[in-house]
Each structure stands twice: as C-alpha cells, then as structure tokens.
Amino acid sequence: MGRLSVVGTSLPRVDAWDKVTGRAEYAFDVELPDMLHVKVLRSAYAHARILSVDTSKAQGLPGVRAVITGADMPKDPPLEALRNELYAVPPFSLATDKARYTGEEIAAVAAEDELTAEEALQWIRVEYEPLPAVIDPEEAMKPGAPQIHDDAENNIQYENRTEFGDVEKGFAEADHVFEDRFSTQLVHPCTLERTVCIAAFDSSGYLTFYDNSIDPYKQSRYLPKLLGIEPSRLRIVQKAIGSNFGALQGNLTPYIMCALLAKKAGRPVKLVYTREEEFINAGPRHMGVCYLRTGVKNDGTVTARDIRLITNAGAYGYLGPAMMTSGFTPCAGLYRCPNVRFEGKCVYTNTAVTSPYRSFGIVPPAFAMESMMNIIAEELGMDPVALRLKNITRQGDVTVVGQEISSSGLPECIEKTVAHIGWKEKRGRLPPNRGVGMACGMFDSEVRNAPFAGSVAYVKLLEDGRVKVISGEFEWGQGSRTVLSQIAAEELGVPLESVLFSELDTAAVPYALGPYGGGPVTLRGGNAVRLAAVEARRQLFAVAAGMLSVGPDDLELKDQKVVVRDDPVRALSSAQVAHYAKFILAEEIIGRGHFEPDTVMRDPKTYYGNYSSGYTFTAQTVEVAVDPETGQVRILDFASAIDLGKAINPMAADGQNEGCVGQELGPILLESLAYDKQGRVVNPNLVDYRLPTALDVPPITSFLVESHEPHGPYGAKACGQVSNIPAAAALAGAIYDAVGVWIKDQPITPDKILRALAEKEKREHAPA
C-alpha cells in the first residue's frame, strides 16, 4: 500500500451541502400526485381479546377512501417459512383475535387528508374484552402471570444455557465471590425523523415503497411472500434518512398496511407515524435484568463468571434471542476468564416489541459486568485500571467464546483516557462529591448471522472521469457513503467530489445486509468497494494499455491520468479512457467487488465461534460532580477512546464516537419509556421523554486508536456502536467515587441517588 491521499483524511461529508441548505430529501418529504394519507387505529389495551371490529361508519365518512382490518390481510401468509429464516416473526399483520400491547395495529384508514383519516378512526367501533396485562419480565415469568401467547409457558420466548471451562472449579479457586443484580430500562431510539412508509402501485401493478427503515432488504425479501406479489414487482427506494439506531428492524406491518390500502383505494398512500406512535409502536431497546456472580483471586485475576440475563421480548418475539447472543459474546470475550456460564431468558410482556437499539443487545449485560469490575476493584482495594489491565483480552488471543482477536488497541484506549482525565491524581482524591470512573467495552466489527455475511459493490468509471459507486450499503446518517466514496476515490485517484453514489433502490443496487451500525458498512462494504475499485482500475489500465500500445503493468495512475511510467509524456486522462471504453469498445469500465468475511456463525446452542472478522474496543473515563442534596449528577468531563483499526475519515469517526456517548447519556441518566400498570406509555412525547440537550451533554473528548485490523479495508474496523457500551458503568463508578453509593439500576436518577445516600447514612449510623 502506497501513501494514502483520500483515505485517512477528515473530508466533509458528501451529503453535507444538501443537508445544510435544507435540500436533502427525506421520505418524510416525498409527495406523490393524488396521494392519500393513512392513520392507524391501535389497540387501546395492553392485553385484550378483540371481539369485533366495525368499520362501516368510518368507511362512509366523506373523504375516506379505504379502510382495512385484520380480515383484509392476505390469507395464510407463509409465516412458517419466514420463521425458519429469522429467529422469530412478529405477526406482521393487524391484530384480529387478540391485542397484546397498547399500540398494536387493529385497523387503518386512507383518506384525502390526515385530519379526515384521524377522524375516521374515531368512528371505528372495536369491542374489547380486556385481559390482565404484565409489563415486567420477571413478573411475567412467575406462575399465574397473564399468559400472552398460548404456546409460551411462563411467557418464555426463548431460553438458553451455555458453559465454558469449569465454572464451579473457577469459583472454588477464587478468594472472593461477588454477586449482584443490575438492571436497565426500556428506552427509545427517538430518531428525529419518524417512521414513514409510502406505497404506490403503477399501472402495471408494480409496487414501489419509499421508506426510511433500517432494513429495506429484509423488507424487499419478505414482503413479496407476505403480500403475494412476485419479487420482481416490488422495490424499496430510500432517500436521506433522519437517523436510525435500530428501532424495530425489519418491521413489515407498516408496509403491509400501506400496500393493502394503496391497492384498495387505487391510489398512492403515505403513512407517517406520530411521535406518540413512535413511542408506543416502534421498538424500544429491551430492558434487561442481569444477575451476576464473579469469582476473583486476591491479585485480581478473574476465575469464574456466572451470568443470568432476563430480557423482555415485548408482546411478540423478534430479535430478542439474537440480542441475547450478541450481547453475551462480547461481554464474555472482553476478559480472559476461562470459566463462564451464561443463562438467558427472553420473556414476553405486554409492551411494544423490543428491538436492538444501538449495539445490539449488549447494554444490559455490559452495564452489569463493567459495574461489577469496578465494585471488585473497590472491594479488593485495587485500581480499576489495574484490574482491567490484568484481565483484558489481548491481540492474538482466541477468547473463551471463540473470538479471534486479530487486532486490539484496548491498552492504548485505556492509557489515553486515563491520562486525559487525570486518573491517578483524581481517583479518591477529589474534593467531596466529585469523582472519576472508568470502564471498557468490546463489540464486533461486523457479524455473521446468515450464510451470506459479506458485501457486493460495483464501481464504475464514467466517461467524464467521475466515479460511481453502486452499493446497497446504507446511509442513515453515520457517514457510510462518505467513507465508501473515499475508498473508491483513493483507489481510482480522483478527488472525493468526483465520486457519485447510487440511490438506494432495492431493484437497482446489489443486495446488502445493512442493518448493523457503522461497522459492517466500513468493514464489509469498504472491502467490497475497494475490491470493485481495484478491479475498475485494472480495467482502466487494460483499456489504456490498448490505446497506448503498452502493457498494463507499464502504467500508473497520476492526477487522474493514466501515465506510462517510464515515459510520462505519454498519458491519457481517465476520462478519455472511460469515454473510449464506453463509446468505442462498448465495454464500460465497471469493477465488481465481492467481499465475504472468513468467519463462522455462532453455534446457536453454545454461542461459540469467530463470528466477526474484527473486534472493536473502547475505554472511557468520566469525571462527575454530584449534588448530595438534590441527587443531580453533573458530568464535568468525558473521554472516550475507540480502537477502530484505522480511521478512514477521522472527523466522521470522532463524530460517531462523540455522538454515541452523547446519545447514551440519555438512557443512563434521563430516559425511561414509562409504562403504567395497565401497559400504557405515559410519556410518549419529546417533552416528557427527556432526551439529552446540549446542556445535558458534557464536553466529550474523542480518541481514535489505530490497531490496524488485518481483515479491514486499510486496517479499518467498526466505530459506530461501541462507545455507548461502557458509559453507564463508567458513570456509576464516578458517582461511587464522588458520594460512595453504587447505583445498579438504570436510569441513574437523582431520586435513586438520594435514596441510596439515605440508606447509606442509615447503615453508617446504625448501632453495630
């Protein structure tokens, strides 16, 4: 590899101009001629039998063009076939006999305008027989709890137990055994752009969707089956996306409703969720309860870990089992402890279907494990940094669960953040009510969760010398198009401005896996684009060699010219060559790149396997001030280092790192999707659901550590969803350092801190 000129440079985003001028077009902005507006009637109860649905009055309302209920669903959709391909399948339909959460779809209306559609909902009569509801997964597991699905005893969707090494022996070897319970709450990704789905049939019955989902390929793959449409007659088109952090990946219900309504009304329809619908329907992050036991020797060596994790699946099973696997394995791999046992249960509850909001399932177990590492250090009188350095997995290791650590810059991440915060001078030495904390994290850089785990891209050299990247990898705000364009620009020697990127149209671009953070796009997509660009360059040289009557090996690329190396006056511009190739040879210069990582799927039972071709690491330190009279936590400084292998665009990578931390501070300190006992979300708006504002997020210092991952393009691996993993434990540690109490359930509210302080005071003043 020669010297890099575009890769490794902090260039502005390719879509920045459109976004700062307001011209970027989002699905929200798409308007089609003659379009109708859709509103959805949702279950008013968290758990109820539906006795009847009468839409006759609504259908007769002026301006209403179509109404559908569960009875309009295609008969016998091949759900079983889908179940074999996915872990579990939500109903992907409107509820017919029973509603299992408040917000479940019961009927939908398409009308001339939103207000008419909304009014029509008031005229739909639903007869319910309310049933007792259960919201908490531990309650739902108890005998006698309301049964949500007939085939799920004790509401267990999925359970698994796996053990590595000899855990009992590990505990026997330990000098101390720590045991505790940690929990996290339901939180919502709250993308600013709300869910949008537009469906339009053309005159020949070809169905086009415009949407902003995270997963158009899953949609385009399964919707034809569910709708009974030939796959070649359905496509999904995406515009700019107002961010996506994983809310209800692959939810097909809005598409089905819109397709049915568009068909019935014979006109295009547009569904835009209200913010309330986002909260009650569009998948929050699952809450998790983690019971953890850890055995440790006097010198800090961790000898055994026993993890019991309970998560709520919500009303329908979906990605819960996947989140369990995905959450457990990096937690197990972060430390060298050879004896690990894991027992996980996904439990049905009467809440919205939960989904993998940023860093796929790892937050509940990571909060528990990293908090416990801090507690262990405190109890052993060790520095938490020293405890980490003693136990962390190192480059070259094969971890207890089979991850092959081909690169790790974790020690450097620790070193950088610890130095930034002034750890040695500050820990335990700050004035009262001030404290510092730290924690670490690990996540996969991509993942094999299907037979195909790679990426395909085409790179085309256009007749004017510009380069077009045709890839199905998604841009939902993280900057993937910029990074992939930088790679194409690097290989074809053009400036970034000369790279165009294909619009995402599932009928026109290669299949991609997509829904998985900033990482896979860089690692998988980056490798594919690089291979495609290298192939395009080979073709460019082959054509130029013919034109210049030299061998391809005699050529080099310089300033957008193909130059004869030994005779630089003989040169052709790339544009000349591409023009010649297209119009004279009628063979366009187009390289195809196919990347398939050398990984295996995790064993579904043991979870063992090297499922990612690179693992990303992070370390964080934080300083806080706690007001002991109000419980208010003020974050004074936050440092986050990520080992991303190689920063293809350091500015964009810093943005991912900072943004990931800033976002996670919400769930840690402020946010909670609050269900009342009857299963209603009582804070479904952006005033009562408190997202962090600029005054809630502290200055965040980002460090990028480059460990050069051999499997990544230019050494790069993921950076988009690792910085949120240790943040809660780091903060909890800092709060302990400040005021001497451990908060073990998120969110860490002022109320909980005051309660813990009161209990501490009671303990300390209790007679011995």
Partner 1 sequence: MGGGVGGGVGQDVADTRKRLTVTVNGRQCSLMVEPNRTLLEFLREDLGLTGAREACDTGGCGACTVLVDGRPVYSCLVLAVDCQGKDVLTIEGLAVDGRLHPLQQAFIDHGAVQCGFCTPGMILTAKALLDENPAPTDEEVREAIAGNICRCTGYVKIIEAIRAAGGTGKPACT
Partner 2 sequence: MRLPRFEYSEPGTLEEACSLLAQADTKVLAGGTELLVKLKQKTITPRALVNIKSIPHLDRIEETEDGGLSIGPATTLHAAATSPLVRDRFGLVAEAAAAVGKPRIPYMATLGGNLCLDGRCFYYNQSLLWKQSLPPCYKDGGHLCHVVQGSDHCNALFVADTVPPLIALGAEVTLTGVDGETRMPLEDFYTGRGEEVNVLQPGQVLSRIRIPAPPPYSTGVYLKHSLREAIDFAVVGVALLLTVSPEDGTCRDARVVLGSVATRPLRAVAAEAALRGKALDEGLVRTAATLAAKETHPVSHLGVSATYKRRVIETLTKRAVRQAWRQAVAGSGSREGWR
Residue selected from 72, 193, 211, 637 as contacting partner 1 according to rule CB under 8 A: 193
Interatomic CA distance for residues 324 and 560, integer angstroms: 49
Q: Give me the sign of the Cα torsion angle 501, 507, 508, 512.
A: positive
Helix, strand counts (H, E) of the chain = 21, 27
- Least Cβ distance, residue 687 to partner 1 (angstroms): 4
DSSP 536-592: HHHHHHHHHHHHHTS-GGGEEEETTEEEETT-TTSEEEHHHHHHHHHHTS---EEEE
DSSP 159-181: EEEEEES-HHHHHHH-SEEEEEE
State yes or no: residue 136 binds partner 1 (CB under 8 A): no
State yes or no: residue 62 binds partner 2 (CB under 8 A): no
- Least Cβ distance, residue 745 to partner 2 (angstroms): 13
Round the CA-based radius of gyration of the chain to a whole number and report it: 27
State yes or no: residue 595 binds partner 1 (CB under 8 A): no
Binding region for partner 1 (CB under 8 A) out of 152-160, 593-601, 610-618, 652-660: 652-660
Tokens found for residue 320? 């819960």
- Interface with partner 2 in residues 22-41 (CB under 8 A): 41
- Cis bond upstream, residue 747 (ω within 30): yes
Judge contact between 384 and 438, C-beta under 8 A.
Answer: yes
Residue selected from 9, 395, 576, 683 as contacting partner 2 according to rule CB under 8 A: 683
- Interface with partner 2 in residues 564-583 (CB under 8 A): none
State yes or no: residue 367 binds partner 1 (CB under 8 A): no
Nearer to partner 2, 284 or 514 (CB): 284
Residue selected from 18, 127, 629, 761 as contacting partner 2 according to rule CB under 8 A: 629
Say how many Å lie between the first and final Cα of the chain, rounded.
69
Residue selected from 284, 333, 692, 715 as contacting partner 2 according to rule CB under 8 A: 692
Interatomic CA distance for residues 225 and 237, integer angstroms: 19
Nearer to partner 1, 676 or 688 (CB): 688
Which listed option, partner 2, partner 1, none, makes contact with residue 130 (CB within 5 to 8 Å by class)?
A: partner 2
State yes or no: residue 684 binds partner 2 (CB under 8 A): yes
Nearer to partner 2, 126 or 456 (CB): 126
Interatomic CA distance for residues 60 and 72, integer angstroms: 18
Judge contact between 195 and 105, C-beta under 8 A.
Answer: no
Which listed option, partner 2, partner 1, none, makes contact with residue 500 (CB within 5 to 8 Å by class)?
A: none
Judge contact between 48 and 128, C-beta under 8 A.
Answer: yes
Interatomic CA distance for residues 59 and 69, integer angstroms: 12
State yes or no: residue 691 binds partner 1 (CB under 8 A): yes
Q: CA 132: distance to chain centroid? A: 33
- Interface with partner 2 in residues 120-139 (CB under 8 A): 121-122, 128, 130
- Least Cβ distance, residue 57 to partner 1 (angstroms): 8
List all residues 6 or more positions away from 183 whose beta carbon is below 8 Å from its beta carbon: 287, 288, 289, 290, 364, 744, 745, 746
Closest to 660 measured CA to CA, from 717, 723, 618, 704: 723
State yes or no: residue 12 binds partner 1 (CB under 8 A): yes
Query: Residue 132 CB: number of other CB atoms within 10 A?
Result: 14
Q: CA 436: distance to chain centroid? A: 29
Binding region for partner 2 (CB under 8 A) out of 112-120, 450-458, 549-557, 576-584: 112-120
Q: CA 671: distance to chain centroid? A: 18
Tokens found for residue 438? 């730290």
Binding region for partner 1 (CB under 8 A) out of 44-52, 128-136, 609-617, 694-702: 694-702
- Least Cβ distance, residue 271 to partner 2 (angstroms): 14
Which listed option, partner 2, partner 1, none, makes contact with residue 171 (CB within 5 to 8 Å by class)?
A: none
Q: Residues touching partner 1: how many (CB under 8 A)?
A: 74
Judge contact between 733 and 384, C-beta under 8 A.
Answer: yes
Residue selected from 4, 5, 17, 429 as contacting partner 1 according to rule CB under 8 A: 17
- Least Cβ distance, residue 426 to partner 2 (angstroms): 24
Which listed option, partner 2, partner 1, none, makes contact with residue 165 (CB within 5 to 8 Å by class)?
A: none
- Least Cβ distance, residue 255 to partner 2 (angstroms): 22
State yes or no: residue 650 binds partner 1 (CB under 8 A): yes
State yes or no: residue 680 binds partner 2 (CB under 8 A): yes
Window 271-290: contact mask with partner 2 (x via CB under 8 A): ---x-x--------------
Window 47-76: contact mask with partner 1 (x via CB under 8 A): ----------x---xxxx------------
Amino acid at the residue 41: L
State yes or no: residue 661 binds partner 1 (CB under 8 A): yes
In angstroms, the Cα distances linking 257 to 74, 198, 215 are 11, 10, 17
Interatomic CA distance for residues 560 and 539, integer angstroms: 15
Window 241-280: contact mask with partner 1 (x via CB under 8 A): xxx-x----------------------------xx-----
Which listed option, partner 1, partner 2, none, makes contact with residue 152 (CB within 5 to 8 Å by class)?
A: none
Interatomic CA distance for residues 322 and 250, integer angstroms: 14
Binding region for partner 2 (CB under 8 A) out of 228-236, 311-319, 334-342, 684-692: 684-692
State yes or no: residue 687 binds partner 2 (CB under 8 A): yes
- Least Cβ distance, residue 46 to partner 2 (angstroms): 9
Residues lying near partner 2 in the complex (CB under 8 A) = 41-42, 44-45, 113-115, 118, 121-122, 128, 130, 274, 276, 629-632, 670, 672, 674, 676, 680, 682-684, 686-688, 690, 692-696, 749-751, 754-755
